[in-house]
């Protein structure tokens, strides 16, 4: 199903009028709801950010196995636009950190979690200092 952006009608008086929908998400005046699970993000919390400036929802939902990045990103951006919340550069980084980066791999639908790409190197081994023969001190020669 193609995504649609629908204007709310004041004449209907419905609080749950659909502002946007795609295959997985429905946006209403109250917030964003996942169709299959009923997971709900309240309108007032859509712009939530962590103290470091990264956006909460892309990072949080990347942990959910049922959340598809493409449909969520589309719906989340529509919600920000509908409610006048300005995206910033940390939004793109939040999606990249949470959901990964696009790589050509059919089994991953083009996305690989960043944690699968970044591996911490083990700390370098410390070499034991070579044992040296004690130096003789020349005294009063």
Q: Which domain holds residue 44?
A: 4-117
| Count: domains in the chain | 1
Question: Nearest to residue 12, comparing CAs of 24, 28, 26, 25?
Answer: 28
3-state helix, strand, coil in the chain (%, to 5): 30, 15, 55
- The tens-digit pLDDT sequence of the chain (141 residues) is 444 444 433 333 444 699 999 999 999 999 999 999 999 999 999 999 999 999 999 999 998 989 999 999 999 999 999 999 999 999 999 998 888 865 444 554 555 555 555 555 566 777 766 667 666 666 665
Q: What's the distance, Cα to Cα, between the start and end of the chain in Å?
A: 97
Please indicate, yes or no, if residue 124 is contained in any of the structural domains. no
- pLDDT at position 12 is 36
- What lies within 8 Å, CB to CB, of 33 at 6+ separation is 25, 26, 27, 39, 40, 41
Please indicate, yes or no, if residue 36 is contained in any of the structural domains. yes
- What lies within 8 Å, CB to CB, of 125 at 6+ separation is none
Please indicate, yes or no, if residue 71 is contained in any of the structural domains. yes
- pLDDT at position 127 is 72
- Give residue-wise pLDDT tens across range 30-60: 999 999 999 999 999 999 999 999 999 999 9
- pLDDT at position 99 is 85
Please indicate, yes or no, if residue 83 is contained in any of the structural domains. yes
How far is 135 from 62, CA to CA, in rounded Å? Answer: 62
Please indicate, yes or no, if residue 28 is contained in any of the structural domains. yes
- pLDDT at position 103 is 47
Please indicate, yes or no, if residue 84 is contained in any of the structural domains. yes
- pLDDT at position 125 is 73
Please indicate, yes or no, if residue 13 is contained in any of the structural domains. yes
Please indicate, yes or no, if residue 88 is contained in any of the structural domains. yes
């Amino acid at each position: 199903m193609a995504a649609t952006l629908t204007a709310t009608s004041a004449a209907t008086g419905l609080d749950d009028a659909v502002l946007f929908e795609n295959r997985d998400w429905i946006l209403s005046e109250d917030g964003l709801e996942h169709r299959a699970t009923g997971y709900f993000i309240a309108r007032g919390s859509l712009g939530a950010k962590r103290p470091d400036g990264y956006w909460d929802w892309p990072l949080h939902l990347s942990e959910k196995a049922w959340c598809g990045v493409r449909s969520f990103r589309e719906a989340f951006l529509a919600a920000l636009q509908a409610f006048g919340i300005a995206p910033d550069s940390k939004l793109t980084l939040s999606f990249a950190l949470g959901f990964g980066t696009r790589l050509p791999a059919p089994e991953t639908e083009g996305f690989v979690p960043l944690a699968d790409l970044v591996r911490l190197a083990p700390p370098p081994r410390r070499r034991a200092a070579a044992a040296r023969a004690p130096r003789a001190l020349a005294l009063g020669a």
